[in-house]
């Protein structure tokens, strides 16, 4: 995954070569991105509770896999948070996460029902495949975009985990004893989950990451403002090849040809959507690779 290295499952923060940290190679916009990602990743326990409620009768192996996924996601958040604290000693990860967690509580997390908000367990797994497609491509993009050695290593490790998570959810999708969904429904679920990236989770995480607690009274949260700022940061990280990989993985999850015309069209539309949400138009010169 990184300079010829393939990171295996089961690593811990103690395996990271923290001594290689080089503060001179930190870019402020990348630091904002990592703080944001740390908060979102560390929020995994709420997702675990929700998923285990939906899949409560799917067998002990599935429930154990969900638990393991949650532990790995939380570890990602803690590791990224540690890096962010090294890069910015004024940043307090635990305190910032507590603020984020208090302010972001999706309704379906508190819903006691055991039916997925997507309508079925198959639809839920398609949505999870969409998320893991995004995270695996995102951390691959971070790995490629940063020159800071420790962050490059961490991003490589997390990207490898996220590819494995995609495979887990893809396999879980096809283990369900529910009737298969028609293609149009799968596509609808995938598109809806992509559009949910515009909800409060990422924008509020970005706000908590960049606005210190003592400035909240004078710098209020405005979703549109911080969503746009987050998309601008994302576009400084992504390259078109990362978007291509993302859409290919989503296409596989919905049963489309990963290299077909529909997937290529989806790639172009997603790239354009990201730029529009960032308030940009046209194609950036550095994004062609």
Q: What values do phi and psi take at 5, rounded to 5?
A: -90, 145
pLDDT in tens, 9-22: 889 999 999 999 99
Token pair belonging to 101: 């967690």
In a domain, 19, yes or no: no
pLDDT in tens, 171-210: 999 999 999 999 999 999 999 998 886 678 999 999 999 9
In a domain, 289, yes or no: no
Q: Which domain holds residue 117?
A: 26-242
pLDDT bucket at 284, cuts 50 / 70 / 90: very low
- The answer on pLDDT for 29 being more than 60 is yes
Query: What pLDDT does 198 receive?
Result: 60
Contacts of 119 (CB under 8 A, 6+ apart): 189
Q: What CATH number is associated with residue 160?
A: 1.20.1260
In a domain, 89, yes or no: yes
Q: What percent of the chain has pLDDT over 90?
A: 80
Report d(CA 137, CA 156) in Å as an integer.
11
Query: What pLDDT does 105 receive?
Result: 81
In a domain, 94, yes or no: yes
Report d(CA 97, CA 219) in Å as an integer.
18
Per the structure, the count of domains in the chain is: 1
- The answer on pLDDT for 148 being more than 70 is yes
In a domain, 228, yes or no: yes
Q: Is the pTM of this model over 0.75?
A: yes
């Amino acid at each position: 995954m990184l300079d010829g290295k393939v990171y295996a499952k089961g690593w811990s923060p103690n395996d990271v070569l923290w001594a290689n940290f080089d503060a001179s190679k930190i870019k402020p916009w990348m630091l904002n991105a990592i703080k944001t990602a740390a908060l979102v990743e560390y929020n995994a326990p709420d997702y675990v509770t929700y998923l285990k409620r939906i899949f409560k009768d799917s067998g002990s192996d599935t429930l154990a896999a969900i638990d393991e996924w949650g532990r790995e996601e939380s570890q990602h958040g803690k590791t990224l948070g540690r890096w962010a604290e090294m890069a910015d000693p004024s940043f307090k990860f635990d305190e910032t996460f507590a603020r984020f967690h208090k302010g972001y509580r999706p309704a379906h997390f508190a819903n006691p029902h055991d039916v997925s908000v997507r309508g079925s367990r198959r639809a839920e797994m398609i949505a999870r495949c969409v998320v893991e497609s995004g995270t695996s491509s995102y951390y691959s993009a971070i790995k490629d975009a940063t020159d800071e050695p420790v962050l490059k290593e961490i991003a490589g490790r997390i990207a490898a985990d996220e590819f494995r998570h995609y495979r887990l959810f893809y396999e879980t999708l096809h283990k369900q004893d529910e009737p298969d969904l028609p293609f149009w429904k799968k596509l609808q679920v995938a598109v809806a989950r992509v559009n949910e990236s515009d909800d409060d989770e990422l924008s509020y995480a970005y706000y908590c990451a960049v606005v210190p607690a003592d400035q909240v009274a004078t710098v209020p949260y405005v979703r549109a403002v911080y969503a746009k700022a987050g998309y601008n940061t994302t576009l400084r990280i992504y390259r078109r090849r990362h978007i291509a990989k993302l859409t290919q993985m989503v296409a596989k999850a919905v049963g489309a040809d990963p290299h077909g015309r529909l997937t290529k069209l989806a790639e172009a539309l997603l790239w354009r959507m990201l730029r529009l949400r960032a308030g940009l138009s046209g194609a950036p010169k550095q994004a062609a690779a």
